[in-house]
Amino acid sequence: MIPIVLHEVGLRDGLQMERQSAPFEHKVRWAESLMESGIDILQLGSFVHPEKIPQMADTDRLFSHFSASGRKPAGVLLSGLVLNEKGMERGYSCGVEMFCMGVSASETHSRKNTGMSTGEAMARIIPMAQEVLRSGKKVQVSVQSAFGCGFEGPIPLERVLSIVRRYLDGGLSNLSLADTAGHANPAQVKEMLDELFKLNSQIEWTGHFHNTYGLGLANCYAALESGLHTFETSSGGLGGCPFTKVAAGNVCTEDFVHSLQRTGERTDIDVKKLIAVAKDLSTFFGRDLPGLLYKTGPLGDTFRS
């Protein structure tokens, strides 16, 4: 059985949407707890200009902190989002282990997010990703707004396939499908993955689903049934892209893990630690979060003691 891989993105995709910036010490505490829970990949932040997204102003410092010997479990991979060459150089300098970058299948979203067309972004991202591979680091490239766009509506499947083909032609095979606007439905997820797996059965696929319209978990399971095994989720269900029309949270990490554990999957992850992080985030921001499990508690026989 292929193991399910959890990529926690709350400290980046979650916190970037918050008006209130969290202190460095809080981020360190949340990151430590998330890593101790047993997740596989932790995204500490994004390398963007602090004036554009001030919540990410201490990303370099976070990576430097956890890159120091003994400050993270050996089995956890640290990932960071980069948008351009300058961000990539910053990532090299502070210890990023997996670089995440991508382009949008929506021209409107691409211009709002990066100031470039999809074609212009592709011409920039592919050489960057290839450079990361040459450096010996891991890289993941994504197709954002792969299932729909709040500005443009449905995205033609062929447009997604075209972007994926260009990635594959560039020697890139660690790919993420991002439902940036939360428009995906399970039937669409299965249809798209069926077509994408025909291109190359060896692709390392990751699913990044948003819960904007309540289908996040359903889409994860549709993807899982279609053969995708890596998922990006967010503590407490925080998150959303600030450059899409309706920004809403990601699939909630602890809710997804709990659902997996009910069928015997990923019982090695300590869901109680995930719940504690979500509760702490809720207290810090002074409001209820989209996630459910931190409010209800887990079923008694599903979590690691």
Could you list the active site residues? 241
The total number of residues written for the chain in this structure: 305
Q: How far apart are CA 129 and CA 106, in angstroms?
A: 20
Token look-up 């390392």 returns 204
Closest CA to 61 of 39, 31, 34, 106: 31
Bridge partners of 233, per DSSP, are 8
User: Distance between alpha carbon 251 and the CA centroid of its chain, in Å?
Assistant: 10
Closest CA to 210 of 274, 286, 290, 156: 290
Torsion sign over Cα 82, 109, 157, 16: positive
Q: How far apart are CA 12 and CA 290, in angstroms?
A: 16
Exposed / middle / buried, residue 135 (Cβ in 10 Å: 0-12, 13-18, 19+): exposed
Backbone angles phi, psi at 268, to 5 degrees: -75, -15
